[in-house]
Every structure is written in structure tokens, then in C-alpha cells.
Structure 1
Amino acid sequence: MSRLFLLLILLTGFVPLSKLQANQPAEVADRFHASILMYHHISSRTPPSTSTSPQRFREHLDLLERDGFQVWPLDRVVQHLQRRRPMPDRVAVITFDDGYISVYENALPLLKERGLPFTIFVNAQPINERHPLHMSWAQLKEAKEAGGIIANHTLTHPHMIRKEEGETDEQWLERLTHEIVENQREIEKHLGETPRYLAYPYGEYTPEIQELVRRLGYVGFGQQSGPASPFTGMTAIPRYAANGIFSNPTTLRTKLHAVPFPLLSEEPVSTVLAGRERRPTLTLTLAPGDYRLRQLACYGPDAQVLPVRTRTLENGNVVVTVNSDRDLSTGRPRYNCTAPHATENRFFWFSRQWLLPHPDGTWYDF
């Protein structure tokens, strides 16, 4: 696999799977992963970066059907991950963040027509305030009756990693607890019992937030890309963005067929970079697997090729060290690592989202 070819994945989303025929039957093997898709708006009239057109969304559903994917409800996948039960090789989950009205108008009819399950992560405040861009409780009830899970996205959609001025650590965690617990209470007041699933707003979390989520009894979902698997833990399950530049069906197909690296550990544990650190080093420890180690490559923002060093330990585990040779920009940049499968026409996939404040310590505005 050439370096140029992998760059195309990140820059344009173009990755042909020429050897993987769409009509091949899905193998049922002892695999423990699923591909969770994340959408926001399903519209051609909303911000492009967070939107998927209705036509493109239909193409995605056609792709899932054509490639033999089983679309499972999120709770079924979570139960399999928690119990480490094998799943069929091709399992996908459809999720929507924010509960936008375009999901009700443009996605729900297609999902109902095909009998597909889905999950909508919602914030109660804009619903209670009857914001025109958001679904109402009555519309969410209709979505639930059509096979949807309505789950938690916090009450007001805050940047959870940010402390307010003068706020202590204890006060910060109390505020986040209120965001989660009160939102769950609102959902259950209007729609009945629902699983304790939390999608982090903006995909932002810290080890302290993950511990809070675990202590409150929730399963957490991020916005970093990669297959959902036991290797990723239950407080930061990855999802593949399927909106904006990531809605290209060819790119999506490659990601849907990707498998997780057998990840044993990743350092640093926190994704938040402190002080003036702009060139973070990521260290991954991998168990032996079917990945082609010599072709493991990692990329930064704008498909920047990152320096990668690998070291095989006596027990067969592999230590992968990745860093950037130039400063990362403020915001939520990522390191994406891939490696071809040794015997199948697919990739292993891992992504780390970093959270970088401005050099003066203030946070970005988006």
C-alpha cells in the first residue's frame, strides 16, 4: 500500500476496495467489533461540515445493504461489547447527534421504510425551548416508536472539558453531573426509560469525565474514528463521522470494513494538551495481530505524514510511537493510524483526537 494511496484516504476520502466484492456474503467469524456511524443534519440546506444530504444518506443505506451489513440497534452492540461476545463481521449502527428536525423530516422516513434501528442523542434544553432546528418531544416519541433509541447528549451541549471562571474541580464535576443526570431525567419524563448512553458534545472528554460517566453508570461515545470494540473501552467508544467531507460513500465503505488494532494501552491517557505543548507524542502498545507492521502509517491534520517508530518486545507486543514534527493548530486535531490487513483487503484503524487550547491557555471558540 503506497503512502500516496493512504494520503488519498485522508485528503479526499477516496479508497477503492476493488478486491472486496459487494455481493460477497458476510462472514460470521469470532470478531468483536462494529462500525458506528455518526450523523448530524440530514439536509442540503444546513452547514456543510455537519450535514449529509438526503440523497447521500440514501446512498449510505444502499451501501450497507449492498455490502451485506447488518444494522443493529446500539444497545445490542453495547451488550456484545460488554460481554465480549462475538458479532458477525459486518455490523453497523446508525446514530444522530443533537436531534435536528432534518433527521425527522428526511432520515426517519427512509429508516422506517427499511425497518432499520437507529439512535438519536439529544439535548433537552433546545427541545424544551422549542428551537425550530430541533425535533419536538412528540416527534422524538414517533422516532422511538419507529425503532429508535433516544439517548443522552447532555442538557445544554457544553464543552465539557472547560471549567468556568473561578470554578473548582468539584464544582466543575457537579455541573457536569447535572448536565447528564438532568438531561436523562427530561428524556425519561417525556419518552420513558432509555439506556444510559452518553455522546460527548464535540467528542470532548478527559479521564476525569470518563470516570464520572463510569461512576454514573453510563456508556460514553466519542467522535474519534475507528471500529467500536472491547479494545476501546466503554467510556469513549469511537464512531465514524458520515457528514461533510466524510460522507463520501467510497471512503465510508473503507471505514465500514476496517477492523480495530489490538490495542493494549495508549499514552498519554488524556487527550487534553496542557500549557504550550503543540507536538504531542502518542505511544500505543499493540498485541500481535494480522496488521502489516511495516506498512503502519500515521497522519496528522491535512494528511501530514507523522514520524512513526515501532519496537517489538520479547513477548511479541509492539510499541508504536508517533509524534508531530510541526506544531498542531488549536482545536481538535487528530492522529489517524492505519495498517493493511495481512490476508484481507481491509485496514486496521485507530484515531486519537487531541484537544488544544490557544498558547495563552484560552479555549477555541467553536
Structure 2
Amino acid sequence: MAAAVLLSVSAQAAEHATITLYHHISETTPASTSVPPAKFREQMEHLKADGFTVMALPELLNALQQRQQIPDKTVAITFDDGYISIYDTAFPMLQEYGFPFTVFINTQPHNDRMNGYMSWEHIREMSDAGVTFANHMENHPHMVDALEGEDDAARIARLEEELLRSQERIAAETGQDHKFMAYPYGEYDIPVKEMMERLGFIGIGQQSGAVGFDSDFLALPRFPFGGSFTDLNDFKQKVQTLSFNLQEVDPETQMTTETSPEVTLQFGPGNFNYRQLGCFAGGQPLQMEWLDQENGRVRLSTEQQFNMRRFRYLCTAPATGMPGRFYWYSKDWTRSLPGNQD
């Protein structure tokens, strides 16, 4: 019986991974998106010492889509925007550890040789060394926001042109043509996801959570690190999380005009107990109305008011037979209103 339980737990773990997200590895850049080099080294040392498999993102995404088992505690490392500290600090450190990684670049700052960003010479050097480069659009737009006078069709046509221009420039400079894109600011809506699907792209967000066989490949989660999220214990907890199988998310879109929206979720079966599910927002428990607890269907609501542009609801549950490990899902919201931009 014990062997059967261990086999079940091992099989569950072989379906999951996490993707980390960084921007700056520096002590002199904006704190909210920066991890000091010493903290970053601590995190990489933990991955090495604790037996994690650090997998290149293209390899990981292919394995998950093909439903191929992967090693337990698998991580892919990613960076957004292409800042110079990735080249100066992260690149040599990750080479030292032998860890593959991916950089999502918005191409215009590199075209313009903007201060604080890598040059195309840096990018080509890293690409030649095996670093993956992929799309983060051209001008880092709020993809959910229409320009004045635009309807949805015109907005999507504009975004498609920008996406493809960026894709062509990355391919021309690096020879890489990966069909996945990290949404700027982690923002997307249903028309954007439909565009991505039509063009054959995988979409990657900034909502926290693990990835698995049944994840939404038009909006894969990543764990962002920076600012208050640089503590090693926080890192240890997140990189070993497991992915819920969400069978219903209503509303599917992250767009809302409300400050305290409701959402209905149905969690598919997994190696956890529905009665141990906890959901939170702003550090406070959400109201959980079970619509069908036996089948994992719950409505979440709150009396809190969230006036910022982006906020999220978080749900976790302890994994049975895997002490200290949790299933993790977050539902992101975006309030795209006049004057409510970054």
C-alpha cells in the first residue's frame, strides 16, 4: 500500500513544473522589479542543492503539451524586457550553474539602443551561447487598451502587426523563431488570446502559479520575483508548487470594471482535499460559497475594494503525502479604465 501511495504521488509530481520571472538582477534598479545579485545567487544555489531540474523553456513547454512526464521539481527560468543586468550579472551566473534560461524582449528599446537595455550584440552573444530569446512585443503595450477611435478588430490588427514585426526582428538577429510570447504587464483579454491561438502562439502571463498538462497554454502562469518577493523561503515554497486542473473559470476574462468582482472556479481532481482549499486576496481570506464541494466548484467573492489597475485572487491547497508542498492558482484581474494605466 505504501509503495502504491508513493507511486501515485510521484506520478502526480511528474505532471507539474514552475516558471520563474525576473526583470532586473541589480541593487540599483527599481526595487519592485529587482532582485539583488546576492539574493539571486541564493535562489540558484537552492535549485542546485535541492535537486531541481532546470529545463529550457522550449523543452518544458513541448513536454507539457505532449503530456510527457518530467522530473519532479522542474523549473524554467525567464526574464522580461532585456535589461542590461541580465547580460552583466544573470548571464555569467547562470552559465556558472549550467542553467538554461529564456529572455522575452520587447524589441524597440534594443533597436533604439536605449540606456539600460542590452544591445543586439549582447543578445546575439547570449543566443550563440544557448540562451532562448522570445517575443514580448515591440513597444511593451497595454494589449487590452484600445487607442482612441479603435474598435476590437482594429486593436487586434494593430497588435498582430506589432507581434509579427517583433518576431521577425528576433529571428533576424538570433535565428530563433519560438512561437511563444510573454504578455506585457501580464495583461490579455479574450480577443488577444484568440489572436494568439490563430497565430499558433503560446501565451505566457505574470499571474502566479505552477504549470501542468492541463494548463491554459494561451495564458501560462509564472512566479514573479522582485521587490518584496525576494525572500529565500518564499522562493523555496513557490518553486515546488503544483498545478491545479481548472475545469471552469467564469468569467474567463481577466478584464473587469468592478473593484470586488466575483468568480466561479471548478477545480478538477488532484492530489489534495477540497476541504483544505483556501483562497485569498490582499492577504485576507475570500468568501467561499461551495456550489458543489464534492466536485470542486466554488464561487469566490469579497467585500474588499481593489482600486488599482491589476489585482489577483489566490487559491492554494496542501498536496496530500507531500509535506510542505501546495497546489497554487491565481486569478488575475485588470481594470482598464481612463487614467488607470501604469
Question: 2:50 matched to which residue of 1?
Answer: 67
Which of 323, 328, 333 does residue 349 from structure 1 map onto?
A: 328
The equivalent of 2:311 in structure 1 is 333
Q: Any conservation in 2 of the 1:119–1:150 contact (CA below 8 Å)?
A: yes
Q: TM-score, normalised by structure 1?
A: 0.88
Report what 2:162 is aligned to. 179
CA distance in 1, matches of 2:119, 2:42: 27
Q: Is the 8 A contact 2:12 2:271 kept in 1?
A: no
Residue type matched to 2:259 in 1? Answer: R
Judge conservation of contact 1:28–1:88 (CA < 8 Å) in 2.
no
Matched, 1:295 2:276: yes
State how 1:101-140 maps to structure 2 within 5 Å. 101-140=84-123
SS in structure 1 at match of 2:46: helix
Aligned residues: 333
Match of 1:19 in 2: none
Runs of 4 or more above 4 Å deviation: 26-30
Match of 1:271 in 2: 254
Q: State which of 245, 251, 256 in structure 1 corresponds to 2:234.
A: 251
Q: Percent identity?
A: 38
Question: Alignment partner for residue 318 of structure 1, among 284, 291, 296?
Answer: 296
Alpha-carbon shift at residue 262 of structure 1 (Å) = 2.3
The one-letter code sitting in structure 2 at the alignment partner of 1:281 is E
CA separation of 1:106 and 1:138: change in aligned 2, threshold 3 A: same
Q: Is the 8 A contact 2:248 2:267 kept in 1?
A: yes
Question: How far did residue 342 of structure 1 move?
Answer: 2.4
1:193 aligns with 2:193: no
* Equivalent residue, structure 1, for 2:266: 285
**Letter of the aligned partner of 2:326 in structure 1?**
F
* Cα pair 2:26 2:85 within 8 Å, conserved: yes
Question: Match for residue 160 of structure 1?
Answer: 143
CA separation in 2, counterparts of 1:152 and 1:133? 19
Alignment check: 8 A CA contact 2:310 2:333 kept:
yes
Question: Over residues 30-54 of structure 1, what are the superposed CA-to-partner deviations in whole Å (9 max), with x where a residue is unaligned?
Answer: 6211110000001000000000111
1:304 corresponds to 2:284: yes
2:15 pairs with 1:36: no
CA offsets, 1:175-229, max 9 Å, x none?
1001210000111111113211100000000111011011111111000000012
Deviation at residue 288 of structure 1 after TM alignment = 2.4
2:4 matched residue in structure 1? none
Q: Which amino acid aligns with 1:218?
A: F
- Cα drift, residue 98 of structure 1: 0.2
CA distance in 1, matches of 2:305, 2:330: 18
Q: How much does 1:27 deviate?
A: 5.7
Kindly state the Cα deviation for residue 294 of structure 1 after the two structures are TM-superposed.
Answer: 2.1
Structure 2 distance, partners of 1:244, 1:230, is 30
Supply the distance in 1 between the matched residues of 2:91 and 2:321 (Cα, whole angstroms): 38
Aligned equivalents of 1:55 and 1:282: distance in 2? 39
The change in CA–CA distance for 1:311 and 1:342 in structure 2 (over 3 A counts) is farther
RMSD: 1.6
Corresponding residue for residue 364 of structure 1: 340
Q: Name the counterpart of 1:13.
A: none
Answer yes or no: is the 8 Å Cα contact 1:222–1:238 preserved in 2.
yes
Deviations 1:16-39 (A, max 9, x none): xxxxxxxxxx96766211110000
Q: Distance in 2 between matches of 1:35 and 1:130?
A: 32
1:4 maps to what in 2?
A: none
Q: Which runs of 5+ in 2 are unaligned?
A: 1-8
CA contact (8 A) 1:199 1:221 kept: yes
Report the residue type matching 1:95 in the other structure. Answer: T
Please give the secondary structure, in 2, of the residue aligned with 1:186: helix
Describe the SS at the equivalent of 2:307: coil
Unaligned runs of 5+ in 1: 1-25
Q: Tell me the SS of whatever aligns to 1:354.
A: strand
Distance 2:288 2:339 in 1: 29
Q: Which residue number in structure 1 is paired with residue 3 of structure 2?
A: none
- Amino acid of the residue matched to residue 317 of structure 2? A
Corresponding letter in the other structure for 2:311: P
Report the CA distance between 1:257 and its aligned residue. 1.2
Amino acid in the other structure paired with 2:286: L
Q: 1:67 to 1:105 in 2, by over 3 A?
A: same
- Give the AA of the match of 2:156: L
